[in-house]
Amino acid sequence: MNSNLRFSTVFRVLGWLLLIEALFLLIPFGVSLAYGEDDWWTFLTASAAAALAGGAAALSMKGCPTRLARLDAFLLTTLVWILFSAFGMIPFALGPLQADVASAFFETMSGFTTTGATVIADVESQTHGLLLWRSLTQWIGGLGIVLFILAVLPALNQDGGISMFNAEMTGISHDKLHPRIRQTARSLWEVYSALTLLLALLLLAGPLDAFESACQAMSTLSTGGFSTRNASIAGFGSEYVAWVITLFMMTGGVSFTLLYGLLHGGVRAFMRNTVLRAYIGIMAAIYLLIVVSRILCDPAAGVAGWVLEPLFLIGSAITTTGFSYTPFAGWGPLALTAVFFMMLTGACAGSTTGAIKIDRIAAMFKGAVNEVTRTLFPNRLTRVEINGRQIPPAQLTRVWAFLAIYLSLTFATTAVLAACGYSFTDSLFASVSCIGNNGLGYGATGGSYAGIPAGAKWMLSALMLTGRLELFTVLALLSPSFWKK
């Protein structure tokens, strides 16, 4: 056993985190009571269980130091996502849904990781408390559970906080807005919360009531994709709602550090950001491809079919939100290929999106160009830059390793699902969707993941977590050297 791991410190901090989840569970409890629904006790039970476990862990380790080393941060970051899902699944298992353990855990992990894959076939028959909890899990997980904790717990504003920040944040490098990690976390959450409130108010100005506005707003900014309607956003029958959600899905795909800078006068830096430009350029290029494909397959689609519907699909796919508005299966193979590409690519690092991220794609492309240049001119000095910053060779190697592991896990999961009897296309789509935290269904998973075997649900749950924490944080725990002295 690795003596460098401070298990007492990890358990103490985990206790604090579970106490915070217990408080979050009281929100759907109150909503369930307000609507006079019978499942209020499931949220109270989940809250009490989290509070008891958290209180016991915090009190039993009272007096232990709160300073976390790098290895402690990896362990804590992974465990908190698992435990939040374990206690958060209680309302799904005990309530009217009566989901089995594998399905309940899958649904909760899908929420916290903002994947949006669901085992619930009839969403509209669920209680208000459960629907709110689904959206709330996505909102909490959008910027990250750990990032929220860093914003509210001053005790973690140390080296361990920085390690936790790096273990959970996405992308090649992680920029701090302020010298103190807590200030950075609070600033990001302020932007995130303000945009969520703005979206909720805009939706409320349309045909949605306050409850549905809040749920859709939390699922949109988190790029999660859980909706309160069976038909997702199409269920509201409103082009206004679709336009607003399209805009905010695309906003959720932008780095929140960049958005913070924009809101504080950094317009020039915002406009000159090369990753943002690539993000916009990719969406524009794919839009043209999809429109051409749509016109060829359905010339009578009309203005909405050539403007709103393709833009909504692009926003949903590239930001890994997974909302649906119009079925795209009949738009031709070119459109389906474009959707698959976006599911792999994702949006900008530092956003709430999943998948590989445009930052890495850009770094790999520039690195590949440099290798071709070196082949022709061996003595020429080359380097890879993103937003004016040089990417060190070690980080570039890590990017290529990330891609290799990402694709290996995707194809391994595809093989397992194919062995369960699903077609290659359906298996590959589900694997890419889960590891990229996308949630878009196709074929066998187009309606829900309810029919997936229990073992496959556990596997996909692990895949969602691994993808959300960008592989290395979770996979490091599987290395024997992590646990050795």
What 3 state SS string does 124-142 have?
HHCCHHHHHHHHHHHHHHH
User: What type of residue sits at position 342?
Assistant: M
How many angstroms separate the CA atoms of 457 and 287, rounded? 33
Name the DSSP class of 386.
E
Q: How far apart are the first and last CA of the chain?
A: 6
Residue 386 β-bridge partners:
389
Greatest distance between any 2 Cα atoms in the chain: 75
How many angstroms separate the CA atoms of 197 and 214, rounded? 8
| Structure-block tokens of residue 471 | 């592989």
pLDDT digit string (tens) for the chain, length 485 residues: 555 677 888 888 899 889 999 999 999 999 999 999 999 999 999 999 999 999 998 888 776 766 777 788 788 889 999 999 999 999 999 999 999 999 999 999 999 999 999 999 899 999 999 999 999 999 999 888 877 777 666 666 665 566 666 666 666 655 555 556 777 778 888 899 999 999 999 999 999 999 999 999 999 999 999 999 999 999 999 999 999 999 999 999 998 888 988 888 778 888 888 899 999 999 999 999 998 888 888 777 777 788 999 999 999 999 999 898 988 877 888 888 898 899 999 999 888 898 999 999 988 888 888 888 888 888 877 788 887 788 888 888 899 999 999 999 999 999 999 999 999 988 998 999 999 998 777 777 777 898 899 999 999 999 999 999 888 889 988 888 888 76
Task: Provide the pLDDT for residue 136.
Answer: 96
Could you tell me which of 471, 248, 246 has the C-alpha nearest to residue 355?
Answer: 471
* Structural domain boundaries in the chain: 7-236
Q: How many residues does the chain have?
A: 485
Q: How many CB atoms lie within 10 A of CB 84?
A: 24
| In contact, 250 and 259? CB cutoff 8 Å | no
Task: Provide the pLDDT for residue 174.
Answer: 52
Question: What is the sign of the dihedral through the CA atoms of 104, 11, 477 and 344?
Answer: positive
| In contact, 156 and 457? CB cutoff 8 Å | no
Name the DSSP class of 125.
G
| Structure-block tokens of residue 381 | 């000095």
Q: What is the dihedral of CA 42, 150, 225, 353, to 10 degrees?
A: -160
Name the 3-class secondary structure at 389. Answer: strand
pTM: 0.92
Residues near 446 by beta carbon (within 8 Å), at least 6 away in sequence: none
Letter string b/e over residues 91-104, b meaning 16 or more CB atoms within 10 A of that residue's CB: bbbbbebebeebbb
| Structure-block tokens of residue 139 | 């909102």
For helices 210-221 and 239-252, angle between their N-to-C axes, nearest 10 degrees: 30
**385 phi and psi angles, rounded to 5 deg:** -125, 140
Could you tell me which of 462, 464, 398, 409 has the C-alpha nearest to residue 435?
Answer: 464
**438 phi and psi angles, rounded to 5 deg:** -95, -55
| In contact, 209 and 128? CB cutoff 8 Å | no
